[in-house]
Every structure is written in C-alpha cells, then in structure tokens.
Structure 1
Amino acid sequence: MWLIHRETDGKSRDRIPLPAPLHEALVRWYVGEGSFHDEQAGVTLVQNARIGHRWIACGCLGPDKAPPILTPAYLSEAETYYLRRLTSTKRPEHRPDCPFFRDQATNRITEVRSHNTPTDPPSGFFEVLRPAPEKLAQRPEDDSLDDRTRNASTPRLARLLWRLLDSAGCNTVAPLGMAYEWSIREEFAALGRAAGKIEIAPGVELARAFWTHARPLETNTVYGTLRALATNWPKTHAPQGFLALYAKSIKGNEIHVPDGDPVAIATRVQSPSIRGNHITGPYIVLIVAGEYPEARGYAPLRA
C-alpha cells in the first residue's frame, strides 16, 4: 500500500510505501479484528492522510498496475475517522480476496465497561481532546482519552463531570432537618473553586479555561482565551476549555439554557436519557471546546 497525492491514479514515483507493520495493523483494524493499538494506528494514519491531502492506494493488483484507491474520511456524528473505498467505472476494483474489497467493518475496538471497571472518578489531567498526531503511525499512548465506547460504557466527559462535582462537594446534600438554604449560584461557585485545584495539562489550571455561563461562548471569550493559552500550552496536550451549564432541556446537538440562545455542539449531546429510560431536566451539562478537526478554528465539540 502507498500514500499518494489526492486526485491522482496512484502510479507516480513519489508515492510513499506503508511499512509492513502499519499495513498489517491497518488491515486488522479495517476488517474489525484488530487490537486497540491497531485501531489507534489506523485512525492516526487516516487522520494524517486527511491533513496531508493524501489518498491510500492498495497494492492488491500488483506494483505495476493502477491501484484501487481508499480515501480517508471523517464521520462527524460519531467523531471518528475511517477509510472509504473510491469506486467508479473508471477506477480499478480490489481483488475479491483483498480485505479492502468490502466496506470497512463498523465495530470499533474500544474499552467496554464491565463489572470489574473501577467506579471511582477519573484521575489524571482534566482533558478529553488529544493533539493531532504529527508523525505518521506514531506509537499510540497507553492511556487513551478516547471516550467513544460501546456497550453502555460511561463517556470520559461524563466521568470528568462526576469528578468535578465530587471535588466541589456538590454531590452531598445536608439533612433536611438542618433547613439548609440551597443556592444554585453557590453550587456553581463551588465548581469554580474546585476548578482551581485541578489541572487540564501540566501547569494549566482548569479554572483558567472554565466557565459556568453560556455568555462567554456567544461573545467568543472562550475561543479568545484558548488562543491566548495555546501559545504556551504543553505540546503533548491539546488546548481545550470547559463549560458547566445549567440546561432546561437537550435536543439532539442543542443545549437549551434558561437565559440565552441554544448552544449548538458539533456532535450529538451524550445523555443517559434514552428511549425506555427517559430522564427529564433540568440538567448540568459539561461542554468541551477545542480545535475543530482540520483546522476550522475553535468550537464546542462534545457535551
């Protein structure tokens, strides 16, 4: 297999051959039989191919013939990269015994929650997004921040919200007999104080990129803050900020706040409220804002 320039037939001399270990990992990931690290290598390759405006040529027909083409694609709804076969009457087909003869398997190899999964709030840095890989097929880190899991696993963003509430003490309620005057303003203030004790990245306190109102999104304050912080952000971590919002309702990718326009997220809001388990609001929603894929600037990416 080779990396080739986009909109070409894949026969030019400057095509870049893929190393055998990467080729093998890519095949295992494509057919749905790979390990977690195979998936990481495959996603990294596809991501870099998109950034570098490259296609991937398959060598199943031999080195001297025009190769079948695979194009790197990004599925925004699922926040994942995948390979798409380029088919047309003018394009060569893969051999029937080639693993790329059929469309990519949909099952993804990710962490699945089990009874043995720890139930403590997540430790480490308060982050969800990862920096775009700079090298082709770089070795994936052991501790992945990928929260796109299957089989009802709890997304990392939800677990980070749990951690923040736990650190702020917002998950404890005074006995009714104490006649405690509960204030949502004070609860959000407690979240802000807790954010000062947590780091997003080395040397970067969560409080520096944390908001509890939608107004900073409307005025682009969130994006301006992230751009200013990004110049000194640790290179091994992705610049990102968080908003904890009080929401009356959630519809698809929109969060409806009580005193402003709906907040639109790049992907569908993840919620435990599903068919057969409907949970009515109001809600506390945690949003992560960061760089949109393919350098489209900053935006609210997940919630």
Structure 2
Amino acid sequence: MWLVDRDTSGEGPNRIPLPGPLRAALVRWYVGEGDHGDEQAGIRLVQNARIGHKWLACDCLGRQLAPPILTPAYLSEAETYYLRRLTGTKRAEHRGDSPFFRDQATARISEVRSRHAPAKPPEGFFEVLKPAPEKLAQRPEDDSTDDRTRNAATPKLARQLWRLLDVAGVNRVAPLSARVDWSLGTSLASVTRASTGIPVAPGIELSRAFWTHAAPLHAGHVHARLDMLTPHWPKGHAPQGFVLLYARAFKGTAIEVADGEPVTLVNRVQSPSTLGQRLGWQS
C-alpha cells in the first residue's frame, strides 16, 4: 500500500510505500482481528493521512495498474474516523480477495434517518476510531437550564474550564490603577499549577495530560503521553489530552499560535462572534 497525493489517480513516482508492519496492523484492524497496538497504528495513520492531505492506495492490483483508493474521512456527528472507498467509472475496484473489498450496498430510498437516530458510518466503511464512552466535551444527557444561557445544557468540559480558571485566579483582573504586573506566561503557569486539582476522570488529574504550548502536540509528545496513560485510564471514560493555547488568529481548521507552527484541527473552529452572538454572559 502507498500514501498518495489527494485528488490523484494514485499512480506515479511520488507515492510513499507503507512499511510492512504498519500495513499488516491496518489490515488486522480493518478485518476486526487487531489488538490495541493495531488500533493505535490505524488511528495514527488515518489522522496523519488526513492532516497531510494524502489518500491510501491499495496494492491488490499490483504496481502497474491504477490502484483502488481509500480516503481518510471524519464523521463529525459520530466523532469517528473511517476509511472511505472511492468508487466510480474511473476508479479501480479492489480485488475480491483483498481485505478492503466490499460489495456495493444497495441504496434504500425508503429509509430516512431522523435527527434522533444515532449517526454512524455507512455499512462497508472502516471505522478506525470508535466513539469514546464518555468525553468531557459531550453534551450532558440532562438538558438542565444554566443560569448563563437560556435552554442550553453545559458540557462537562465547559464546567471544568470555568473551575480551572477560578482555581487559578486568572478570571480576576485588577484595575489599571493598581498597576499590577501581568504577563501571559504568569497566567499560564497559574493555570498549570491549578490543573493538579482538577479531575478529568476518576483518579486522573488534568495535570497528567495538560499542555499550554503547541510544540508537544507537533512533536508527538501528547500522543505518546496518552499511549502511556491509556492502560491506567478508568473504564467507561475516554483517554483524553488537553492543550490550552494562546491563539493570535484562526481560519477554517487552522489555529495560529504565537510561538510555533499553526495547529490544524479536524473540524472548523467556531466562535460565538461568527454566529452573530454577543460575547459574554447573558442575563
């Protein structure tokens, strides 16, 4: 298999061969026989291919013919990564004995999914990263009304963020007449110290998976730490890391930081100001 440039036929000298062990891990996970290591390898491969604007080309037809293409995709409603087969009159099909071969599903026009039905990848798609059992950013099951907004439930992540800022004391600003020295570094240091007392899962403190710069994310340290913590994470809770960044600007899926390369996200960045809403608390 190869990594190939997106929007191409998958042919040519620029395609990058996948190492044999990585290809084997991907196949095992695809057919449902993989272990945790295979899962992690599949997640990394699909995420990196998507961020790097690459597609995956299957080698089941050999090196001379145009290869069947698998595209890394992200289903935001289900928070799920999967591989999507490109089909069409100009696209090659997988061989019948290929682990990536799937019969074409017949479209069922009469089946309509309501907004209450859970979103999931279509049949025949490869689900690499299953939805986490519980995430701090997910909407609470009970739609309790919050004092700050009308008829809107507050995610756990927002409540924990408010608590973190309060414990760190960075939500209190002295008047200009007090002539108090302030710096971004001092505020981030206060938040980092406060993270030792904020739980993100039973027995797991935020400080064990918390960063305030983009460099650890780019260098792979964030993923390495999560790999190390995963065996110790309590069941029913998703291993998660958190990066608090000072953003100079954002555009689409990219966040421009002050001290390094931009951070690329899976989904577009949303701000209340882009939705025509006022910033601040509502009374």
- TM-score of the aligned structures, taking structure 1 as reference length: 0.47
